[in-house]
Amino acid sequence: MSPVFLLLILVCSFWTQTCPSKVSRKCLLAWRTLSVKIHPVPWIVLSNANNYSSAPNICDRFEPTSQDCCAIDPAHIAVGNDHLELEQLRVEWLGPLATTLLNHAIYLQNYFVECLNLTLTALDVSFQSSYGYNYQHNKEFFVQFFGNLESYMLGHRQNISEMVDDFFNELLKRIVRLLLFAKSRQDLVVADCISSQLQRRNPFDRIPEGIKRMAIRAFPPARITANALFIGSEVISSLLKEVYLTNSCHINWMKLRYCNFCFGEAESFICEDTCRKKMALCMTDYYSLDEPWTQFIDHLLELIDRLRGSDSFPQVNRPLQIHITDAIMSFQRLFSRINPVLLKNCSRQEKNPTAIRLRPKRHLFPSSGPGVFSSIPETVDYFRSLPSLENQTKLMQVEVSLWVQLISRLLPFVLYHRGVTFLVTQYLSARSLFANLDRWFCSPHLLRYSKIPRKSTRMCWNGKRMSSARYMIRGKISNSGDEVGFLVDDDPFIF
C-alpha cells in the first residue's frame, strides 16, 4: 500500500472522528442541560425504552442546515397518550379552583348547620328551665322546625316564609291545647276553634312578621351563595372532564417547549409572542367562557357581600330563640285578657258546651308548689310571673357558654367580616380566569426565564427555529402577584 493512500486513510479517519465530536459537543450540552434541569420527564423517551419505536419524534423535521441532535443522542421528544405536559398544566390550572369552590360550599353549609344546631340548643336549655314538662311534651315540634330550617339552608325545602307561618300556627294550637287541658276529641275541636279565633288578633303580636322579614333577607342569600359555589365547582369539573385539547395543540406545545434541545440550543428561552399565539388557537373554547364566567363571579361577589351586616344569616339566626320566647310572652298577655264569650261560643259548637268551663286553666310555666301544673279561677290572671332574675341570669350564662363553645370550634366562621373580605379577595383573582390564559400557560417559569428582563433583545425559540425576541415579559401575573385562576387553601377559611 502506497504512503499516499495510507495518508489519505489517516486523514479521512481523523476527519470522521473529529467532525462528529464537534457536531455532538453542542448536542451533548443540550441533553446534559435537559437531564439536569428537566429530565426525567415522561414525555422524553429514551432510545432504549420499550416504547421508543411507538413514540415518533416530533422534532425530526429540520432545515437542511440544522443539526439534529435527537438523531445522534440517546433520546427524542415524543407525545404519548398517557403523559401530556400541556394536559397536566390544564389540570393544575382548573383543578385547584374546582376543589376550592367545593370546599367553600361544604364549609359554608356546615356553618349553617352548626349555627342552627347551636340556636336550637340555646332554645332547649332556656325552655327546659322556663316551661318544664309543657316544653318537654312538645320538644319534637321545635326540633322539627329547626330541622326544616336546616333543610331549607341545604336546598331541600322551599318557601321559608310559609315555614315560619306554619310554625307559629302550630305553636298557637299547641299552647291553647295545653292551657285548656284539651285531651278528648271534643276538647281539641274547641281548643282549635279558639286558636282560629285568636289567629285573627295577632296572638304573637308582630313578631312572626318580623322573623319572616328578617329570614327572607338573610337566609336565601346565604343559601344561594353555597349553591352558587357548588355550581361553580361543577362547571369547572365539567370543563376538566369534557373540554379537551386537540392532539395538534399538544404537539405544538412540545415543539415549543423541548425541540430546541434537538437543535442544541440548551440555554434558549421561549418566545412569549409565539406562546401566546399558540395558546390563543388551542384555547378558543376556553376564551369563549370569559364573559359568562365574569358575570358569574360578579354575581357571586354580590352574594358574598350580603353575608355581612345586620341582615346576614348569623345575625338573624343567633337571636331566633329569643324572638320565639318574646312571641310566647306576647301570647300570654293576649290570652290573659281573653273574652269568656269566645270560650262559650266555641264550646257551643260541641255537644257538651260546658266541657271547657268545667276545666281549670293551666299555667304555661311549671308550678313551684306540689304537682306539675297550677290552676286558678278564670277571673284571676292565671299566668305566673316571668322567671326570676336569678333564673334569667343562669340562662344567660348558659347561652354565653354555648357561644364560647361555638367560637372554639368554629373560629374561622366567627371571624365573619374578615372571612367575607378573604373570599372577596380570592374570587376577584379568579374573575379573569378565562381572559388571560396566556398568563398561566406562558408564565416566565414555563418560558424558562431565569431572570425576567424588562425588555429582551436576545434570541428566543419559536418552536421551529431561533428568532429575535420582541415582546416585553411581565413578571407578575396580577396586581396581587397571584397566578390568575389558581386558588389553593391548605386550610379553607370561611367565616
Instruction: Please state, in angstroms and rounded to a whole number, the distance separating the CA atoms of residues 473 and 272.
Output: 7
Q: Does some domain include residue 41?
A: no
At residue 257, the pLDDT reads 84
| Residue recorded with cell 416585553 | 472
- Collect all residues with Cβ–Cβ distance below 8 Å to 475 and sequence separation of at least 6: 444, 452
Q: Does some domain include residue 391?
A: no
At residue 376, the pLDDT reads 28
Q: Does some domain include residue 237?
A: yes
The answer to whether residues 402 and 122 touch, using CB atoms and an 8 Å cutoff, is: yes
At residue 64, the pLDDT reads 45
Q: Does some domain include residue 48?
A: no
Phi, psi of 44, deg, nearest 5: -100, 115
At residue 468, the pLDDT reads 76
- CA-based angle 22:28:31, to the nearest 5? 155
**Positions in the chain short of pLDDT 70:** 1-58, 60-83, 348-421, 450-457, 469-495
Instruction: Please state, in angstroms and rounded to a whole number, the distance separating the CA atoms of residues 114 and 413.
Output: 10
Q: Does some domain include residue 72?
A: no
Domain extent at residue 180: 77-351+415-440
Q: How many domains does the chain have?
A: 1
* pTM, full prediction: 0.70
Q: Does some domain include residue 60?
A: no
At residue 66, the pLDDT reads 53
First to last CA, the chain: 94
At residue 477, the pLDDT reads 37
Q: Does some domain include residue 400?
A: no
